[in-house]
Amino acid sequence: MGVYFREEDYREQLKGAVRIVVKIGTKVLTDKKDKLDRKLLWHLCNQLADLQDMGKQVVIVSSGAVACGKELMDWDFKLDTCEKQVAAGIGQPLLIMEYLKLLAKRNKVALQALLTEDRFKNPMEFENLVRTLETAIVNRVIPIINENDVVSSKGFEYGKKRLFSDNDVLASLVARALNADVLIMLSGVDGLLDANGQRVGCVKRFEPCLYELDSGEKSQNGTGGMVTKLMAAESVSLNGIWAVIADGKQPGVLLRIMNGDTIGTLFCRNERKNIEKLRTDISGLDEKCWRKAFRKGCELVKRSTSAIHSRISKH
């Protein structure tokens, strides 16, 4: 006879997590004018420093470079792909300087890592990446990771075997590569919402119907949305890593999650697989998982669009 666990029982297990990958989305880092919210960033850096002081190992995957570049250039129009890459190239050093400055106030040291999918496809480069990040973590250096937008192409290009097209998926790859205990994805919504707009507290296993609950949350300067967050959560949970999607603007969000508070949506982990096999199979497994999920998302978008046009035609 199985043992019944309440959501609180699962949440309690997060207190024992040591290695934490935190993905911070563009919606979290920007204000209503799409400019970098430095006050909010300071609160997040404070919490990250607190977690490290508590003995946790913290890795950051941060969006926000495009928003910083747009702010400096005073671009208030919608950017095309090339313009976004230019904005990212301008904004990335500005973003990392903000992180370095704020973390230094807490006597914390950080390093920047700009990644492309080649770092995960090439076995030698992948192992070198893992060794570098592991060495940083052991020396209490906080890695701050972002995709190298200037040389990366955006979008789901499966014909070219794209591994990631946004930082949600990148964060899940990093979490798996580093054998993290938990992946926290900070967004602009309070987790996964059900059909009635109510927060889903805990997901014990993934079902196809979960992808129908996509809230459509996506910022003007970002590339992800709830579908990619679900894809990332499913990928890590299948490999023994807890995942949480939560509102990054809530006060003390990171500390509350790691304290086991009922905040955001918790995705329960499966039993851990062999870490070496996980690292060997990381490319193939992720592409299969995300290709399937993306097709589901496309079908949902198509059905939703048809329904909207049908309603419009009736009026």
Answer for the pair 219, 149: CB distance below 8 angstroms, yes or no. Answer: no
Beta bridge partners of 136: none
Can you give the pLDDT at residue 87?
A: 93
Within-domain flag for 150: yes
Share above pLDDT 70 across residues of the chain, in percent, rounded to a whole number: 77
Within-domain flag for 252: yes
Answer for the pair 28, 40: CB distance below 8 angstroms, yes or no. Answer: yes
Within-domain flag for 190: yes
Closest Cα partner for 69 from 59, 84, 56?
84
Can you give the pLDDT at residue 236?
A: 95
φ and ψ at residue 48, rounded to 5 degrees: -60, -40
Q: State how far the alpha carbon of 21 is from the alpha carbons of 70, 80, 199, in Å.
A: 27, 30, 22
Task: Return the ∠ at Cα 89 (arms to 180 and 147), rounded to 5°.
Answer: 20
Can you give the pLDDT at residue 119?
A: 83
What is the residue range of 115's domain? Answer: 7-314
Mean pLDDT (whole number) for 65-69? 94
- The CATH code of the domain that includes 14 is 3.40.1160.10
Within-domain flag for 173: yes
Within-domain flag for 204: yes
| pLDDT tops 90 at residue 255 | yes
Q: In whole angstroms, what is the distance from residue 18 CA to residue 63 CA?
A: 23
Can you give the pLDDT at residue 311?
A: 39
Those residues with Cβ within 8 angstroms of residue 264's Cβ, 6 or more apart along the chain or in another chain: 190, 191, 199, 244, 245, 246, 247, 253, 257
The per-residue pLDDT for range 263-305, each reduced to its tens digit, is: 999 999 986 655 554 554 554 444 455 445 445 444 544 444 3
Within-domain flag for 44: yes
Comparing 64-78, 134-148, 205-219, the range with the smallest average pLDDT is: 205-219
Within-domain flag for 1: no
End-to-end CA distance of the chain: 55
- Return mean pLDDT, the chain: 82
Beta bridge partners of 142: 110
Which tokens sit at 112? 């920047």
Within-domain flag for 2: no
| pLDDT tops 90 at residue 107 | yes
Those residues with Cβ within 8 angstroms of residue 265's Cβ, 6 or more apart along the chain or in another chain: 191, 192, 199, 200, 201, 202, 203, 244, 245, 246
Closest Cα partner for 170 from 286, 79, 257?
286
| pLDDT tops 80 at residue 106 | yes
Number of domains in the chain: 1
pLDDT band at 3 (very low <50, low <70, confident <90, very high): very low
The per-residue pLDDT for range 132-173, each reduced to its tens digit, is: 999 999 999 999 999 988 887 654 343 444 545 578 989 999
Can you give the pLDDT at residue 283?
A: 45
